[in-house]
């Protein structure tokens, strides 16, 4: 099969919210592979015909004709066309400083109703005497608007992701000393990378930071209850007191020993003033 590629050169235009950066379409040869890559922008790819595989976040996903998939900023991905029925796809990429929740809670979705829009994207390079960038920008806004209209699936995915994060937070509070992130993901039957992504999206911090903060808050309470620093370190799951002390100081700005001394001084001051 003849390989057909048409890539458009896009000159980013100033915009407060959305900046188009790439677009094009490609008819892939059997087994054609796009090597591992990572971008600083969103890319939406619509499969016009055939099928292929997306490798991302440790997961392998088969994407078929009339489906679309999302590549997000910072994600490492690899694409491979099927050997027997290689895909032809259309893509559009853009940077955005907007919150776009509809683009975060699903990786692959049915998109037959978006085919006409993507065909317009594929053909926009053929429009003479018309600026390419504003045209692409209008198509991106149309895509976002259409995605918002498809809010049933998005809302379900959003609620499901929110429930996963709530469960993860509770499990961290219950088992911060005995579990790790891999075990947490296994308990929730989730891919670790997906769990990490939605956790930061909802809480604003990484799951590792949340876990560390929970352990240190628990250690502080244990120390205030009269446990020694060594006991508190062990009880919250640290393997050695040195790493615990470094983490404690980074979080509270005092070493555990300094924190104990400061607390003792405060208690002594209260007693003398009562």
Domain range annotation of the chain: 4-149, 151-204, 220-274
Q: CA 229 to CA 240: how far, in whole Å?
A: 11
The two tokens of residue 101 are 């929740």
Termini Cα distance of the chain? 89
Q: Is 116 helix (H, G, I), strand (E, B) or coil?
A: helix
| Topology match between the domains 4-149 and 220-274 | no
Say which CATH architecture domain 4-149 belongs to.
Sandwich (2.60)
pLDDT at residue 6, rounded to an integer: 63
pLDDT at residue 16, rounded to an integer: 61
Could you give phi then psi for residue 31, rounded to 5 degrees? 75, 5
H or E stretch including 27?
strand 18-27
pLDDT at residue 190, rounded to an integer: 85
Residue holding tokens 């876990």? Answer: 211
Where b means 16+ CB within 10 Å and e means fewer, 74-99 reads: ebebebbbbeeebbbbbbbbbbbeee
For the chain, 274 residues long, the average pLDDT of each consecutive 10-residue run is 57 70 93 92 95 87 93 92 95 90 79 93 77 88 84 67 92 91 90 83 88 93 89 91 91 87 69 59
Residues in the chain: 274
Compute CA distances 114 → 37, 131, 134, whole Å: 26, 23, 20
- For residue 56, the number of C-alpha atoms closer than 13 Å in the C-beta half-sphere is 25
H or E stretch including 133?
helix 132-149
Query: Phi-psi region for residue 166, left (φ > 0), alpha (ψ -120 to 50) or beta?
Result: alpha
Q: CA 46 to CA 114: how far, in whole Å?
A: 8
pLDDT at residue 134, rounded to an integer: 86
Torsion, Cα of 39, 40, 44, 49 (10° steps): -10
Say which CATH architecture domain 220-274 belongs to.
Orthogonal Bundle (1.10)
**Residue from 114, 141, 124 nearest 18 by CA:** 141
Q: Is 179 helix (H, G, I), strand (E, B) or coil?
A: coil
Dihedral sign, CA of 240, 241, 242, 248? Answer: positive
């Amino acid at each position: 099969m003849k390989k057909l590629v048409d890539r458009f050169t896009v000159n980013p235009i100033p915009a407060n919210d959305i900046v188009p950066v790439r677009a094009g379409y490609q008819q892939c040869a059997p087994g054609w592979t796009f090597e591992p890559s990572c971008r600083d922008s969103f890319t939406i790819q619509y499969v016009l015909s055939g099928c292929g595989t997306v490798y991302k976040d440790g997961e392998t996903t088969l994407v078929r004709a009339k489906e679309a998939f999302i590549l997000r900023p910072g994600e490492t991905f690899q694409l491979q066309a099927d050997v027997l029925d290689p895909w032809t796809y259309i893509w559009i990429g853009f940077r955005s400083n907007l919150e776009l929740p509809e683009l975060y809670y699903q990786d692959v979705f049915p998109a037959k109703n978006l085919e006409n829009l993507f065909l317009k994207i594929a053909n926009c390079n053929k429009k003479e005497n018309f600026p390419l960038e504003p045209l692409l920008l209008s198509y991106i806004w149309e895509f976002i608007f259409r995605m918002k209209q498809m809010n049933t699936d998005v809302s379900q995915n959003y609620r499901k992701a929110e429930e996963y994060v709530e469960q993860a937070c509770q499990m961290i509070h219950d088992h911060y000393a005995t579990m790790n992130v891999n075990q947490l993901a296994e308990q929730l039957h989730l891919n670790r990378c997906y769990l990490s992504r939605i956790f930061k999206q909802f809480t604003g911090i990484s799951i590792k930071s949340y876990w560390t903060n929970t352990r240190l808050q628990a250690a502080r309470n244990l120390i205030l209850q009269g446990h020694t620093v060594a006991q508190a370190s062990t009880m919250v799951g640290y393997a050695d007191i040195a790493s615990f002390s470094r983490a404690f100081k980074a979080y509270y700005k005092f070493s555990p020993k300094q924190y104990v001394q400061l607390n003792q001084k405060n208690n002594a001051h209260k007693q003398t003033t009562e």
